Amino acid sequence: MDKNEFEIWKPCLEKAKLKLRAAENLIQMLEPLKENRLMIKILTLLAASSNLTINSIIQKEHIKNNLKLFSSPDKNLELFFSTSSKYLKKEDKENILALTKLGKEHNKSHLEFIKKDKFVIFLGDTYEIVTLDLLKKLDCSLKILIFQAENI
């Protein structure tokens, strides 16, 4: 791989790592501060990090394996999840999919609120509940994905 090809996916991965570190710092601050509104920012950072990591992997696979990219981000996401079993275990793949879904729902949602230790996202007549434990689980799966992205 020459230098130009390397530079295409590397900045995405570096940004993803920075966002992951910021989310982890907020997770550590959340418990002692009991400031549950931080869950919103943590979810936003984790979702952004996940998207950047997935883009990085797709770009890297495109360079190495001539993987066909689409102009639609949703189709590229489907492509990633169809090939992600070589990078992730089933549970981690499901967590990354859930993180992607939660990030999209958070962006589309018109009503969200914090109730005790839960962040509730309403979307139409359905809702999702985000807890600190869920955020930690998503964080662990994202760490694994980033590690795999570095070692492809």
Whole-angstrom Cα distance, residue 147 to residue 76? Answer: 20
Structural tokens at position 5: 């090809």
Domains for the chain: give ranges and CATH numbers: 3-106+133-150 (1.20.120)
Q: How far apart are the first and last CA of the chain?
A: 12
Q: What local confidence, expressed as pLDDT, does residue 65 receive?
A: 80
Q: What local confidence, expressed as pLDDT, does residue 90 receive?
A: 93
Q: What local confidence, expressed as pLDDT, does residue 104 receive?
A: 93
Neighbours of 73 (CB within 10 A): 12
The predicted model scores a pTM of 0.91
The single-letter DSSP state of residue 88 is: S
DSSP reduced 3-state for 12: helix
Q: Do residues 139 and 23 make contact, with C-beta atoms less than 8 angstroms apart?
A: yes
Got the DSSP string for 92-141? Answer: HHHHHHHHHHHHHHHHH-SEEEEETTEEEEEETTEEEEEEHHHHHHHHHH
Q: What local confidence, expressed as pLDDT, does residue 116 receive?
A: 87
Q: What local confidence, expressed as pLDDT, does residue 4 receive?
A: 54
Residue of 149, 108, 150 whose CA lies nearest to 127: 108
Residues across the chain: 152
Q: What is the mean pLDDT of each run of 10 residues along the chain (152 residues)?
A: 62 95 94 87 97 91 82 88 86 95 93 92 92 96 94 82
